[in-house]
Amino acid sequence: MPELPEVEALRRSLDGPVSLAPIERAGPAHLATLKTVEPPLRALEGRRLAGARRRGKRLLFATDDGELMLMVHLMSAGRLRLLAARKRGPAAPAFQLTFVGGARLVLTEPGKRKRAGVWLLTPAAAEQELAHLGPDALGLSAAALAHLCRGERRRLHGFLRDQRVLTGIGRAWANEILHTAKLSPFALASELDAEALGRLGEAIESELERGIALRGQGLSDEDVYRVHGKLGRPCYVCGTPIARVAFEEHTVFYCPHCQTGGRKLADRRLSRLLR
């Protein structure tokens, strides 16, 4: 489930290598993966990429002539790798770029449902495609965060995950950030005082940086997450078992001692079963 730290670690690993040689062949691409038809993929052939950039959870590869932008969104299960020349790759990649010399940038996605996406865009179209996104969660200033929270009647967990508010944070890192900030996932964003806002801002930055560093070392979910997915395991700060509230689409994990003043919140999925 790649979020900002995972995508940023990947971006850093691809930034240099993707610009080493021009693109020889663009494609094949799975019909469901390639989201655009114009410009055609082959318009990339013969051009060179100017490294890798990132906007929230999306990877952006601009051509060095500034005319085209390849955008990749891994969604929940996509995986993007650079394979050295002659290294065996998957039989049916969801998308592939082959560089002069034989290295390949390969996108795979297990399972039948293809949700990861690749877009080939002009710079103007790319700008439009990204216009709905809020500011990047990494490097957000305290003043900008305070501004985003003002008048925001939503609960913090949902607020942090809304890509139109700020972009890059999903379910897992919302859990990690709120635990570090010692804030309830269900507190209203608008009701944070200056001190709590300060803690939230620092936690966003420190947790995303921690994630980038650990993912850069190749660590897995088990070793990266401290709260997310750790139901019943002792909180690494106070030892209280981590609790959860499960919703249809996601699960909130939190420490009742560190975050909700000792209160355990009703697990809605469980409550529904008992009704």
CB of 239 to Zn ion, least distance (A): 7
Q: How far is the CB of 234 from Zn ion (least distance, A)?
A: 8
- If one asks whether residue 264 binds Zn ion (CB under 5 A), the answer comes out as no
**Count of residues interacting with Zn ion (CB under 5 A):** 7
CB of 33 to Zn ion, least distance (A): 41
Q: Let me know: does 200 contact 148? Beta carbons within 8 Å.
A: no
- CB 259, min distance to Zn ion, A: 7
Asked if 258 is part of the footprint of Zn ion (rule: CB under 5 A), the reply reads yes
Which of 237, 241, 250, 265 is close enough to bind Zn ion by CB under 5 A?
237
Which stretch in 17-25, 113-121, 249-257, 266-274 sits in contact with Zn ion by CB under 5 A? 249-257
Binding region for Zn ion (CB under 5 A) out of 70-78, 113-121, 143-151, 248-256: 248-256
| Residue 9 one-letter amino acid | A
Closer residue to Zn ion in complex, CB, 238/270: 238
The DSSP line for 174-186 is HHHHHHHTT--TT
User: Could you say whether residue 257 binds Zn ion (CB under 5 A)?
Assistant: yes
> Which one of 108-116, 123-131, 227-235, 262-270 is the stretch in contact with Zn ion (CB under 5 A)?
227-235
Q: Minimum distance from CB of 185 to Zn ion (Å)?
A: 13
The verdict on 238 binding Zn ion (CB under 5 A) reads yes
| Contact predicate 99/23, CB 8 Å | yes
Closer CB to Zn ion, residue 119 or residue 225?
Answer: 225
Cβ proximity to Zn ion, 27 vs 229, nearer residue: 229
Report the interface residues with Zn ion, using CB under 5 A: 235, 237-238, 240, 255, 257-258
